[in-house]
Amino acid sequence: MCGRAACSLNPETLCRACEYENATGKRQTISWTKSDVEYVPSTNIGPKDVLPCIIAGSHCGEENERVLCAMMWSMIPPWHEQKKLKISFCFQGDYKKHSLSTHNARLENIKNSKLYNSPLRNGQRCIIICEGYYEWKAGKTKKDTKQPYYIYANQRKEIEADDPSTWEDKWSEQDGWQGFKVLKMAGIFNKFKTKEDKMIYSCTIITTEANSVLSWLHNRVPLFINKEQDLRLWLNEKLSIDEAIDKLNKLTLSEDDLNWHTVSTRVNNVLYKNEDCRKKTKAIDMPDY
């Protein structure tokens, strides 16, 4: 599963980090579209906080092929506090107070889920962006302290995942993005209109059963989309649900895709936002039994 993430790059830098090849085959940076939820860069982002997501521009009336949109991480159920008034739906209540756990969705059940079927049917697929995410390795007994790990994309050797001073902020049409390689995770999203007439975008990360790359850490893992052709297909609204799910089922996580290191248990507290959340530390000494 994935219940905590880091995304500290500012919107302008993220627009360069999420470059893509347009219809003419040229590299271009992505644009940041307006959203009624605020993205706050942080090294410790939890469910119902905000993450940047790539979506097809048509979802928000944009002419651009794809855009970055800030979304609440925990998809608001389609039926949340929904009341029909005359010819349209007016949505009431605090959108953060739905009681369901929706920050992750299991790939195996997603197509038949009452919660996720509607967004899938409407082509509301997204790519959720972060620099890395945290996962906790359980001890031998329930009393043992869990060891947090920080997982991130494999970087060039001069880039240290826990030291932003080693990250370049450099992009060109010829060479592309030269900075920190972000994680791109398959997701779906929903739209929720508040009584104040604000449009709230919210998302969920799709997970699958972990293979040998990360099964030692947890039995679930986000679905990473690393190739441009796979990303383009997932964002294609014309792709049917069956075709889209079939594409995800064919994705394979390899040893070369990711790297990780142990971090301090300070990250356990979602209110702790300091830069050292993702700093590499010595692993917890586990007792022998």
pLDDT 10s digits, 116-155: 988 998 999 999 999 999 999 998 888 889 999 999 999 9
Q: What is the pLDDT of residues 186-238, one digit of tens each?
A: 999 999 888 888 999 999 999 999 999 999 999 999 999 999 999 999 999 98
For residue 223, the model assigns a pLDDT of 98
Give the residue carrying structure tokens 């929720």: 192
What value does the mean pLDDT take over residues 78-86? Answer: 55
- Better-predicted residue by pLDDT, 217 or 89: 217
Residue 242 — pLDDT band, cuts 50, 70, 90? Answer: very high
For residue 86, the model assigns a pLDDT of 41
- Better-predicted residue by pLDDT, 289 or 11: 11
pLDDT-wise least confident of 29-33, 42-46, 58-62 = 58-62
For residue 1, the model assigns a pLDDT of 66
Residue 96 — pLDDT band, cuts 50, 70, 90? Answer: low
- Better-predicted residue by pLDDT, 171 or 86: 171
For residue 85, the model assigns a pLDDT of 43
Q: Provide the mean pLDDT of the chain.
A: 91
In the predicted structure, residue 84 carries a pLDDT above the cut 50 = no
Residue 91 — pLDDT band, cuts 50, 70, 90? Answer: very low
- Better-predicted residue by pLDDT, 54 or 143: 54
For residue 25, the model assigns a pLDDT of 87
For residue 287, the model assigns a pLDDT of 52
The strand pairing partners of 72, in sequence order, are 50, 202
For residue 94, the model assigns a pLDDT of 66
All domains in the chain, ordered by first residue: 4-81+92-132+182-254 (3.90.1680.10)
In the predicted structure, residue 58 carries a pLDDT above the cut 60 = yes
For residue 93, the model assigns a pLDDT of 57
Q: In this structure, are residues 244 and 56 in contact, taking their beta carbons and an 8 Å threshold?
A: no
Residue 99 — pLDDT band, cuts 50, 70, 90? Answer: low
- Better-predicted residue by pLDDT, 197 or 68: 68
Torsion of CA 179, 181, 133, 217, to 10 degrees: -130
What value does the mean pLDDT take over residues 164-175? Answer: 96
